[in-house]
Amino acid sequence: MFSSTLWHIEGCSRSSVLFLKSLKCAAFSLSHGHCSSSRTVTHPSSGQKSRLSVRCRSKPQRQVCKTILQHFDAQYSEELGEQWKSARGVLLNPHSWQYGVLLNRFSDLTNLEQGLRALGYTSLLPRVQPESQSHTAHIPLQCLIHRDPVRLPNQGHQPSWLKQYFLLNAASVLPVLALDVRDGENVLDLCAAPGGKSLAILQTATPRLLHCNEVDTHRHDWLLKTLESYVPTTLQHLLSLTRLDGRSVGDERPGAYDKVLVDAPCSNDRSWLYTPDTHQGDIWLKERAQLPLLQKQLLCSALAAVRPGGVVVYSTCTMSQAENQSVMEAVLASYQGMELLDLTQLIDSLSDHFGFAHLHPPLGHLVIPKKGQTWGPMYVCRLKRVY
């Protein structure tokens, strides 16, 4: 769909501003439901003018599943109160959703960030300081956001060429920042597909090992393609990709990792709301009741896999109390030798960008989307294994 823009992306080191202005026009058009956009740009070396055209097939507007919405209304009105009204308005209006642009430090980014900033993009992490006292190297994660619901086109996979950016819900970087990976550490991403958080980890440090695990075959293939598109072959020896049952990793590799991320399978509020039909919605709601058990098992496996003194971060992209605070309460009550770590410094540094909910009890932090700050949902909590 966007093949005509890739030539300009690759040439943006010499004419990024012209390219990005054209791209912004196309992105705004697409984000507001228009099916085409065209702009004249100049080739940086030859001076020839060419036409940048972005067209898409007309797609029917996504339909909300009434069964899911009714369930959300009942549950979240009770759990979130007035905050649900704001979140509901965002979830029901996909055209309002904002996207973060995670820059790939392994690709040629010459003038790209400067060009994006000229178009109104700002840094998500203006002055976030690493929380660890370690003296090992720490690389600032580069994630840019825009105040408007602009979405750049995804870059296509090209052999022997690394993509320059990864589009994501900007709240997705929170678990990675909470993990605070350092150079030389052994890191496990227990439920890694589609790979955005694994990629973000590699943007912040060069671990000795990054073990990316995904049990589902289709999602594992998706993960593999993501890493191939963003990570140079010279660093692929740092990666280990497996299809293990995440619930068994702790028993098979006890104490093997310094840091473990559990971005658990969950009832993703954004996607579940647009379930194709009522029958599928009923099936998903039945599955939702079973998710907390799986999430507890995955978190316990992660705690067994991390070394004494190591850190585990648990995250989901749902606002459901049963899948967030209740999971943490159950695990802390049954698993000995765990300490809940404070995330106040990180949360305070990002408070201007995200609307955090105050949780009772304060087991983790929850980003609830609202107008103008449509990031989330994203829940994050950090634990330390004491012994």
* Terminal-residue alpha carbon distance, the chain: 52
If you average pLDDT over residues 207-212, what whole number do you get? 98
pLDDT of residue 231: 97
Binning pLDDT at 50, 70 and 90, where does residue 361 land? low
Distance of CA 93 to the CA centre of its chain: 20
Q: Does pLDDT of 81 surpass 80?
A: yes
The pLDDT mean for the chain works out to 84
For residue 103, give both structure tokens.
């820059």
> Which residue in this structure is represented by tokens 């002055």?
127
Q: Which regions of the chain does DSSP assign to beta strands (E)?
A: 36-42, 49-55, 100-103, 122-123, 143-145, 165-168, 186-189, 209-213, 239-242, 257-263, 306-316, 338-340, 356-357, 365-367, 378-385
> Which residue in this structure is represented by tokens 């949902």?
377
Q: Read out DSSP for 265-285?
A: ----HHHHTT-SSHHHHHHHH
Binning pLDDT at 50, 70 and 90, where does residue 138 land? low
| b/e 349-383 (16+ beta carbons within 10 angstroms → b) | bbeebbbbbebeeebbbbbbbbeebbbbbbbbbbb
If you average pLDDT over residues 147-172, what whole number do you get? 92
Kindly report the backbone phi and psi dihedral angles of residue 129, in degrees, each rounded to the nearest multiple of 5, phi listed first: -100, 140
Which position has the higher pLDDT, 59 or 379? 379
Which position has the higher pLDDT, 26 or 198? 198
Binning pLDDT at 50, 70 and 90, where does residue 227 land? very high
CATH for 66-89+170-385 is 3.40.50.150
If you average pLDDT over residues 91-108, what whole number do you get? 96
pLDDT of residue 362: 74
Give 234-266 pLDDT, tens digit per residue. 999 999 999 999 999 999 999 999 999 999 999
Give 283-317 pLDDT, tens digit per residue. 999 999 999 999 999 999 999 999 999 999 999 99
Task: Return d(Cα 238, Cα 191) in angstroms, integer.
Answer: 18
pLDDT of residue 256: 98
Binding site per annotation, positions: 191-197, 214, 245, 263
If you average pLDDT over residues 181-203, what whole number do you get? 97
Give 61-72 pLDDT, tens digit per residue. 778 999 999 999
Task: Answer yes or no: 317 catalytic.
Answer: yes
pLDDT of residue 126: 63
CATH 3.40.50.150 residue spans of the chain? 66-89+170-385
Binning pLDDT at 50, 70 and 90, where does residue 24 land? low
The three-point CA angle 34-27-196 to 5° equals 125
Strand bridging mode 209-213 / 186-189? parallel
pLDDT of residue 218: 96
Task: Return d(Cα 70, Cα 79) in angstroms, integer.
Answer: 14
For residue 262, give both structure tokens.
């559990």
Residue 222: how many other CB atoms lie within 10 Å: 15
Cβ-proximal residues to 356 (8 Å cutoff; 6+ apart), any chain: 347, 365, 366, 367, 368
- In the set 65, 143, 300, 317, the catalytic residue is 317
Q: Does pLDDT of 5 surpass 70?
A: no
Highest mean pLDDT among 15-19, 29-33, 328-332: 328-332
> Which residue in this structure is represented by tokens 């996207």?
99
If you average pLDDT over residues 158-181, what whole number do you get? 94
Binding site per annotation, positions for S-adenosyl-L-methionine: 191-197, 214, 245, 263
The three-point CA angle 111-117-118 to 5° equals 85
Kindly report the backbone phi and psi dihedral angles of residue 311, in degrees, each rounded to the nearest multiple of 5, phi listed first: -120, 140
